A and B are shown apart, each in its own frame.
Chain A
Amino acid sequence: MAVKSTIRVGTGSGFSDDRFEPARDLAERGGVDYLVFECLAERTIARETLTRLKDPDRGYTPYLIERFQAVLPACRRNGVRIVTNMGAANPIGAARAVRREAKALGLGDVAVAVVTGDDVTEIVRANPQLRLMESGEPVEALLPRMASANAYLGADVIRDALATGAPVVMTGRVADPSLFLGTMLHGLGWSYDDYPKLAVGTLAGHLMECAAQLTGGCFIDPGKKDAEDAVNIGFPYADVAQDGGLVLGKLTDSGGRLDVQTCSEQILYEMHDPASYITPDCVLDVTGVEFDQEDRHRVRAVGARAKPRTPSYKVVVGYHDGYIGEGEVGYAGPNALARAKLAEHIVRERLRLRGYTFPEIRVDYIGMSSLHGMTDDRPEPYEVRMRFAARSPDRKAAQAVGFEVRTLHVNGPAGGGGGTHALREVLGVKSILVPRELVQPRVSVEGSS
């Protein structure tokens, strides 16, 4: 493919359950060259690995087919290439599913480049001495409970996958900004050692990876910070020039807003030290970044810097961590809080009398303390909902929590309504650093490109 002087890269989704229309709009009339769909939260791969064990054809993101149905026709018509980590724990299975769907949509044989090598389960098993970033302890203790281990791959493998010419690139775990940077390495011909450029592309990816969070999502506070048409917030795109110019934009008829304020919030999102944001590609420094409003829907960003990448890949290890049981019941009107507190006491005592103990119990009074904790000066609300949650390695103990809350239905304090209960299996995640030379990212192609 010929290298261009400027490319436009759009965001197709910011998480696995994101809206469908904004990506379709960008594919149809956004003039984008690439659409990048980020769909993997930290523990998603662990969850999907378990799905794949039950059904070898699955283990990719649940909305895969719906997303491709929404955008693939327009992407094929307009020559928009798709890069996505929707493959989760089964990128090859996802690629095959996309190809089947493309045929069903009448789009013919659509080749899909598949990135693998992020699954490093066997490498972690063979290196039990590797230390957890959280505690410094060896990963060895987690191995018997390990469900998955995936390295955050970098932009170089995305570049290589795009070089196959396939219209779609399907991956498992790749660092979110790298999905975007890879399109720039390929489309603008940037060198993987040109750090000033890697800084620009990584900044662009970091700003765009959460989609609407750059364009008015997680921002609006009515009367204080408003935006137009909060119902139809558009997703962002970036115009990236070969010389490193970066302008972020959104469709002029989309809702939300894109300005210095929204960009300033998102640049610090999930960032710790702003002078060293570590990705597989570089160590980004945003302390010199400035935003400048070009017009109502476009913001220019300058000043990103980067230091050389580290010698390791970050790996997230997913592991089985027991069960969480919970139950809720609501009270309203006179003495509501006292009735909710009695409900808590009853559940706590019933669980104790039945011989269950828990390493951790959490009780919330929803309406008072469930989000910001309890302080002495909280006003008593008209309605309050008691939520009782506990963790246990023992499934039966966790199940008993919801059961005892449910029995309040006929045995509990007066006027308790709207009870719910749940039991879920917990997949914890911890991180390790794995030396680069142990990890081998690979590209293969499903179909002919």
Chain B
Amino acid sequence: MSVTVYELGHARAGDKGNTSNVSVIAYDEKAWQILREQLTVERVMHAYSHIAKGPITRYELPKLRALNFVIENALGGGVTVSLAQDAHGKSLSYVMLGIELAGSPGEPAAPR
């Protein structure tokens, strides 16, 4: 069974200079357990590898059931000088939401 981050939570991307931060907020407690366990820096780096150089730092906010990923060297040199159409990287939250994890939206992932 696999589940996308899109089914488990919602996300927003922000920018500062050449760094993008993408938050992921779980819809419920079960989704939070899957995200917290499986949405690792390695998993996220893999998804963004063709866009960002990294490094990536991950922060956990259990009270909000949220993760915050700070992805460095992600915005083509920074908003003001980037050649990209989406210089702010506003669309980058949907790269995160496309990541597939093990489990189903209704139940927590089986222990590995």
Beta-carbon contact of B51 and A360 below 8 Å: no
**Known interface pairs A218-B90, A429-B78; A225-B63 also in contact (CB < 8 Å):** no
Point out the residue from A219, A290, A374, A428 that lies within 8 Å of B50, measured CB to CB: A374
Beta-carbon contact of A373 and B85 below 8 Å: no
**Known interface pairs A264-B25, A264-B66, A270-B21; A362-B80 also in contact (CB < 8 Å):** no
Q: Which residue of B lies closest to A358 (CB)?
A: B83
B interface, over-half SS: mixed
Beta-carbon contact of B25 and A265 below 8 Å: yes
| Interface stretch of the complex, out of A111-119, A249-257, A385-393 | A385-393
Beta-carbon contact of B21 and A272 below 8 Å: yes
Contact with B along A383-423 (1 / 0, CB 8 A): 00001011100000000000000000000000000000000
Once bound together, how far apart are the Cα atoms of A264 and B10, in whole Å? Answer: 10
Within the complex, what minimum Cβ distance (angstroms) separates A133 from chain B? Answer: 8
CB of B76 within 8 A of chain A?
A: yes
Given contacts A224-B6, A288-B63, A370-B86, 18 further A-B contacts (CB under 8 A): A43-B80, A134-B17, A266-B12, A268-B12, A268-B14, A268-B66, A270-B14, A272-B19, A274-B59, A275-B59, A289-B64, A290-B64, A326-B83, A362-B83, A372-B92, A389-B83, A428-B81, A431-B17
Beta-carbon contact of A372 and B91 below 8 Å: yes
CB of B43 within 8 A of chain A?
A: no
A-B contact count (CB 8 A): 112
By a beta-carbon cutoff of 8 Å, the part of chain B in contact with chain A is 6, 10-12, 14-19, 21, 23, 25, 50-51, 57, 59, 61, 63-64, 66, 68, 70, 76, 78-81, 83-86, 90-92, 94-95
Once bound together, how far apart are the Cα atoms of A391 and B14, in whole Å? Answer: 24
Point out the residue from A42, A271, A289, A366 that lies within 8 Å of B21, measured CB to CB: A271
Beta-carbon contact of B51 and A287 below 8 Å: no
| Residues of A close to B14: CB separation below 8 A | 268-271
| A–B Cβ pairs within 8 angstroms, 16 of them | A43-B79, A134-B17, A265-B25, A268-B12, A268-B14, A268-B23, A270-B14, A270-B16, A272-B70, A288-B63, A360-B83, A364-B84, A370-B85, A391-B81, A391-B83, A428-B80
Which residues 354-381 in A have Cβ within 8 Å of B in the complex?
A: 360-362, 364, 366, 370-375
Q: Which residue of B lies closest to A286 (CB)?
A: B61
Q: Which residue of B lies closest to A374 (CB)?
A: B50
Point out the residue from A42, A272, A370 that lies within 8 Å of B79, measured CB to CB: A42
| Residues of A close to B6: CB separation below 8 A | 224
